[in-house]
Amino acid sequence: MCGIFGYFDLNNKRLHQDEIELMGSLINHRGPDGTGIFSDKEQSISLGNNRLAIIDVKNGNQPFYSDNKEIVVVQNGEIFNFLELREELINKGLKFDTKSDTEVILRLYELYGVSELRKLNGMFSISIFDKRKKALYLIRDRIGEKPLYYNFQDNRLIFASEIKSILSIVKSREVDLESLNQYLTFNYVPPPRTMFKDIKQVMPGSYIRIDENNFSEVKWWELSEINSEQKKEKELKDSIYATLEDAVKIRLRSDVPFGAFLSGGIDSSSVVGLMSKNLNDPVKTFCIGFNENNFDESLFAKQAAERFHTDHYLEKVSPNLLDLWEETIYHCDQPHGDVSFMPTLRVAQLASKKVKVVLTGDGGDELFAGYDKYLNFFEKYGNGLSDIDFYSKYFENITLFNNELREELYSKATKSKINHQESENIMSTLLDKSKHFDQINKALYIDTMLLLPGNNLIKPDRMGMAVSIENRSPFLDFNMVELAFSIPGNLKLNNGESKLILKRTFESLIGKKLTYRKKQMFTVPIGNWLKTDLKDFCYDLLLSPKSRKRNLFNYIFIEKMIDKHMSGEKNYTREIRALMALELWFRVFKVGCEISN
């Protein structure tokens, strides 16, 4: 796990060395164990890496260079099958100088170019400069576990693992109004957009290639190519168990101490159970608990810890973690209406005292229909909707502010500058790609393509990296993802039971109590606080002269919405906290935005 950064100027205009170093220093939290920078004055290019040393601690410093110095590689992440690939490449005559997974990327590229990316099993953002071709590649993993942002203007590419690094070079901080519209539609900004007008993301499962003649983006992995398969339940259960166990095993490869986040839910409990099965020493597990029982999962985590005899670290904290809100926004670079970033940062802080790597249960809900929203939607509508009805009703199901509310929310000036259709086009494109899936898997596909890279994978990456620990998610092993989408939806969600096939697979490992416990959201009770402790803060933040000056919204409507929430007439928790996060983001990043009429 690391942070990468750099630039490539086709007009041969060089950045000063201190500018490159500043880019690295702004994301030093991602890799405090060392910084390496390659610069080529002839090509006006630099590739940098801040390293969090996990594999081959002594010899794994980046960048990595080919023997003739014509290929340069930096990466953020881990290649979990690097040992198997290393052996394969040695058998083909390639020589290695280290035991680093990054050198495997270098040698694989030397032999195949970018044509064999599918051999990589990992979470990664990679930059490769090939001096022979005068070409730079930016490569992102299949699901988008590792971030990669870029600005391309005037034939100059600036890239980094976090937006703040790019902002040190690209001085413009103009908000992208269409991204703002998408944020208020989905509660996060879906890739490839960001809230900054001139900064984009490399899409998951894609790479960008830039040379003196061309800028192109290539999709190298496509989840929608998976087809559903009819198999007997025992065969499916065996496949799920074996695939997740293999995913856990290769994520135990580390030269530094590791552990796991443990909530006591089926996903994290299954991961910890498989870790315990494959390790001689007790797993170090980490959990935070709340004093308010409605939000406290620590009892379930304790049950799982006792079942698997883990070395368990629990810290009870006040659920009022809002003093972390601005810090989480700073590390995310963008607003998120999801306040569970705060407890995630808190449990990461706890884990960082003991380990540098944690395994998590991220991804299980999106692959196996674990959220209540799936249960509620399909209990209400069933599986027999027409494609058109499914599109409109599921879009409504995942929307924060629907079209009618946004019509009331925006100022006249803002309305004239955005296109509601673009948010709807995102959905229609995904639905078109997933036509062959049943409707349950369609819903899961949409969230895997949107929610995971847009929000749910930002959370473990940024909150872990904020305290310099690496998060590894066995459920997001591409073999597990592809297997999950080959399983018919009615085996995941049926008769009011979510994660059906997953529960039947791991019930014997984690026990009935943990398997069938009621799911709790890992969050904080901000909706209630808005009516009490946060009431004045909410009014001041959203209706202050500073906020009104932006002229983004109809502030009379916002005031009415807050009043209705405070009185209990309506529950606008999600909408209000998203607007609060947006305003805090404007202030943390000093983003320019005054919409003229």
Q: What is the pLDDT of residues 211-236, one digit of tens each?
A: 998 999 999 999 999 998 888 999 99
Structure tokens given for 395: 């879009």
Say whether both 496 and 540 belong to one domain. no
Match 């409504």 to its residue by tokens.
396
> Is residue 362 assigned to a domain?
yes
**pLDDT exceeds cutoff 70 at 521:** no
pLDDT-derived band at 206, boundaries 50, 70, 90:
very high
The domain boundary residue, chosen from 515, 534, 564: 515
Do residues 510 and 531 share a domain?
Answer: no
Q: What is the CA radius of gyration of the chain?
A: 24
pLDDT, residue 47, reads 98
Which tens digit of pLDDT belongs to each residue from 17-43?
Answer: 999 999 999 999 999 999 999 999 888
State how beta strands 64-65 and 215-219 pair.
unpaired
The pairing of beta strand 200-201 with beta strand 71-79: unpaired
pLDDT band at 527 (very low <50, low <70, confident <90, very high): confident
Average pLDDT over residues 87-109: 97
Q: 158 and 264 share a domain? A: no
How confident is the model over 412-425, as pLDDT tens digits?
999 999 987 888 89
Task: Please report, as a single letter, which amino acid is at residue 159.
Answer: F
Say yes or no: 245 and 330 in one domain: yes
Whole-model pTM: value is: 0.96
pLDDT (average), residues 255-260: 96
Encode pLDDT of 103-142 as tens digits: 999 999 999 999 999 999 999 999 999 999 999 999 999 9
215 and 239 together in one domain: no
Query: Which CATH number is 11's domain given?
Result: 3.60.20.10
Instruction: Give pLDDT tens digits for 358-370.
Output: 999 999 999 999 9
Domain presence at residue 424: no
| pLDDT at residue number 520 | 63
Are 155 and 24 found together in one domain?
yes
pLDDT recorded at residue 522: 59
- Range of the structural domain that residue 197 is part of: 2-173+184-221
What mean pLDDT is reported for the chain? 94
CATH number for the domain harbouring residue 276? 3.40.50.620
Under the banding of pLDDT at 50, 70 and 90, the label for residue 289 is confident
Q: How many Cα atoms sit within 13 Å of 81 on the Cβ side?
A: 17
Q: Give the E-state strand segments of 367-475 in sequence order.
A: 470-472
Q: How many structural domains compose the chain?
A: 3
pLDDT tens digits for range 149-166: 999 999 999 999 999 999
- Look-up of token digits 């005037």: 154
